A = this chain, B = another copy of it.
């Protein structure tokens, strides 16, 4: 029983490997074509299996779709929590550390394949499967946003930030950091690395102008001194 951890051998081996390659291909096709437009034959071709195998594994187009969303949600959540674990709790350089965190969050959770696909599926089919996406909402934003908020609360408690409501601050942090990527996200595109960095940098700077403690205090002092107000 050799546990072949080999990540992606092109011709998949074994029952479970086939299941994965099916779900993987299905994710891509569902995203590109939408649920109604997705073609089982095309999924089979892209997965490198026969159509019958798909029915053997998942029984049904709808069940396949549910499996895809569950899979993506799970993997994305894992990625997000792994990234949250790298949040700078005791930053040396607050600005640089927050920018790094924002970039990691974007690259590992939002712009990567899983994140892109999950986002698209939520947008396109969310209304058709209320329970499924209610589940996502609980497992996704319902758990990750508070987790991020908690990290900001800790930063505030440590005297690094002047925040009243950590939940609001967390949401605004995400909004700011992605502010320049909205159009790209809308069209389903993937921003370039430098665009991500740019947006994160601008976003974090504004965030710190609003909530930074030492920096704003210093600049206020400086401005008052200069302006003589």
Contacts and interface: CB of A to CB of B under 8 A. Distances in A.
Interface of A: 32-37, 119-120, 122-124, 126-127, 133, 137, 141, 165, 168, 171-172, 174-176, 178-180, 182-183, 186-188, 202-203, 206-207, 209-211, 216-217, 220-221, 224, 229
- Interface core residue of A119, A137, A174, A175 (most chain B CB under 10 Å): A175
B35 A202 contact: no
A187 B138 CA distance: 13
Contacts of A171: 179-180, 182
A37 B125 CA distance: 11
Nearest to A119: B186
A172 B202 contact: yes
B36 A34 contact: yes
B229 A127 contact: no
A195 to B, nearest CB: 12
A168 B188 contact: no
Nearest to A137: B183
A207 B168 CA distance: 13
A34 B126 CA distance: 12
Given A37-B37, A220-B224, A174 B179 contact: yes
Contacts of A187: 122-123, 126-127, 133, 137
Given A36-B33, A176-B176, A206-B210, A123 B126 contact: no
